[in-house]
Structure 1
């Protein structure tokens, strides 16, 4: 039997999770662009069923402290914020960005979150970012502008709605990084995430009424398979594998492997969805991902 070191286990799990997320971006693009499914419909289905899968897996694997996040007033408040603000709106903003841009560009804009986090932490601590952090921020923002304008500063290559959601993505990325820190530190990430997804999905069900979608959208076999992938592999298993990687490697290291997500989303979007990804988009992507990679390596030390 092959003996795999903890570092390799963590790397494999983080990369698998990131690839599954990248593929999910493409399946979501097919659902919201090609099939015309509302973003909130996908959010509701994804959160409700992925929450059930994660909680079932957590229960059968650990068999203890299943309701721990719901004990204590502080925990309940944090869980409600995590569910209805952090998870729900992160999912909605991402899918709306995919709808108005494409999976490749939306996933790259998500990668701006570490840059936005640096700015937020500097403001919060009333400190000036380090020089290299400022350079990384300038490079990443310039890369985002290049992608949004296709290299021509007088025009936009995406809609105004796409720009708005593109700006919101790293903002909500900061919230997703900072807000659940207390919960993730004190409880199992799989348990917290499962409860958060299920609660938000359950509340959205009677509001969105996803079962009525068959009146306007033909749910053929291929569409259903995309939905199943999005829920099972792109959400539940992706979350599980990536969170499991944190048992073996530090979050800073996992963040480096997470850069596989936008790369896989770009390659699959170009290959499967015929997304036009030309030189300006590739340059913009490099201007965003390279600083993020550099910051991850620096903070790793």
Structure 2
């Protein structure tokens, strides 16, 4: 039976929960890997990491589609309007989301960057209400207030006269939230027609090609040791390809709403890995801000109001790579 409003077999429910939690955890782990690479003296830039991540994962998705969805892949390549939309999605959606997220990690840390990325959900709600010309419902409005409060706490630690994180990190964090909102909302019709794997896989490939042209990684001098190489491979294989595949299986088994709630483990995972592995210290005020942002995710993604914000946010589940962010 489908997870969408029908009975779910117990074994499928357990599988869905496990896959969703693993996918979210791996997205958080990939953020910590990016922090490790940026701070490790390897000479890697956010653009370099993003290009390798997206192109590598895009090629893995392409290999999968050639093996399992060759007919659909051929149909998509022969449909010019679809490929133009894929190009917009890959560059203005996935690439913009990934590069801004990685830049924020460079200025702050994986936990803070992942939490700030959650503002994208609040932006989706605002834009959905605006275009529908409807006011947000009570839960959505409460979620927006929590998102603003969380961002202020993280940025100022409660002292509005100063910033606790670098100003560029805050600006890039807001840009990341806007990019996240775009990639959530833009591919809705493509997802309905072609499915999440095909749309995100090709989008990742196109965005990765664009990122590679900008980064020109073949001309960059890097000095990766075993740990650095392992972290880079982990970002591509575990933090992008495997995370997306697991998360999508979870959505198929338990539905987008439950999956989006369980997906709140991503900022928790990024924070824990950043603290336990990389020694990043998070003051209590940051932890409060993180908790408020996660509460916002719960409120907005469970909203059933007429504004449609809850439904729009669920589209994030189907189109996600954090990407995850992420990323």
Could you state the TM-score of these two structures normalised by the residue count of structure 1?
Answer: 0.93
SS of match in other structure, 1:247:
helix
Of residues 24, 31, 53, the one that matches 1:18 is: 24
Q: Could you tell me which of 201, 205, 208 is aligned with 2:208?
A: 201
- Measure the CA separation in 1 of the matches of 2:56 and 2:163: 37
Partners of 1:204 and 1:154 lie apart in 2 by 37
Cα deviation, 1:164-220, whole Å, max 9, x if unaligned, reads 01111221121111011111111132222221112222233343221232x3x3211
Q: Which residue of 2 aligns with 1:103?
A: 110
Number of corresponding residues? 297
Match of 2:140 among 125, 133, 142: 133
Q: Match of 1:185, SS?
A: helix
Q: Distance in 1 between matches of 2:37 and 2:199?
A: 27
Aligned equivalent of 1:113, options 111, 116, 120: 120
Q: Distance in 1 between matches of 2:225 and 2:96?
A: 28
Q: Which is worse superposed, 113-122 or 54-63?
A: 54-63
287, 290, 294: which is aligned to 1:289? Answer: 294
Q: Which runs of 5+ in 1 are unaligned?
A: none
Q: CA deviation at 1:63?
A: 4.4
Distance of 1:109 and 1:237 partners within structure 2: 23
- 1:74 pairs with 2:81: yes
1:259 to 234, 245, 264: 264
Superposed CA RMSD: 1.8
**Bigger Cα displacement from structure 2, 53-62 vs 155-164:** 53-62
Cross-structure match for 2:254: 249
Q: Unaligned 5+ residue runs, structure 2?
A: 1-8, 305-309, 312-327
Do structure 1's residue 222 and structure 2's residue 224 form an aligned pair? no
Paired residues for 1:1-80 under 5 Å: 4-35=10-41, 36-80=43-87
> Which residue of the partner structure matches residue 124 of structure 1?
131
Q: 1:53 to 1:158 in 2, by over 3 A?
A: same
Q: Classify the secondary structure of the residue corresponding to 1:31.
A: helix
Could you tell me which of 240, 244, 256 is aligned with 1:239? Answer: 244
Compute the TM-score of the two structures, normalised by the length of structure 2.
Answer: 0.86
Which range moved further: 41-50 or 165-174?
A: 165-174
Q: Which moved more, 1:230-239 or 1:288-297?
A: 288-297
